[in-house]
Chain A
């Protein structure tokens, strides 16, 4: 149990375009979902926390107008990188949790902006 999926696993887009990444909890209802970004050889950096039906809480330094998060249901959250630039190229990982402490991670999405 506790499986989280992400789609797509890899995406290449041109600079200036927008990219949407989906995160789904497949066999449980996620009250909270988290979006992380990880640059090569660095640790996970929390971007935002989202609860179903409410606005996401963004970490300091993360532009909420650039990284749009929608947590429309208890099993789906989406991250849209708007007007992507090469510096947005990174590994984006979502995680989800129910009432427990543990977070269940998705497999990640490798974004490359050319």
Chain B
């Protein structure tokens, strides 16, 4: 079966750095997305990785290792507004999005 694993909840301090991991086993791979979702709102796009390596975009970076079935989202200089759920989603061989359950990130002052 297809499976996406990410931690249920993480806590970090304002100004710090946090890494949210995602491991996957899917039928085929056509890329991996990270989305941010604030409570009561729809997901918003953060990053898309299809090749191995690190993609940096401002305070957020995303890393992918296809051989290990592994990705992480790195958030630097954490701000209170970064408190949200972070969803990892993999595009499978049928170009369907397979969603992880999301990681709730709590930022403390």
Q: Which A residues form the contact surface with B (CB < 8 A)?
A: 34, 41-46, 49, 91, 93, 101-108, 110
Taking residues whose C-beta sits less than 8 angstroms from the other chain, chain B's interface range is: 20 to 34
A108 and B101 contact, CB distance less than 8 A: no
Instruction: Determine which of A91, A103, A104, A108 lies in contact with B97 in the assembled complex, contact meaning CB atoms within 8 Å.
Output: A103
A93–B31 Cα distance when bound, in Å, is 22
B30 and A44 contact, CB distance less than 8 A: no
Besides A49-B96, A102-B48, 19 other A-B contacts (C-beta < 8 A): A41-B104, A42-B101, A43-B100, A43-B101, A46-B96, A46-B97, A46-B99, A91-B40, A93-B42, A93-B43, A101-B30, A101-B31, A102-B33, A103-B97, A105-B43, A107-B42, A108-B40, A108-B41, A108-B42
Interface string of B20-55 (1 = CB under 8 A from A): 000000000011010000001111110010000000
Q: Which B residues form the contact surface with A (CB < 8 A)?
A: 30-31, 33, 40-45, 48, 87, 91, 95-97, 99-102, 104
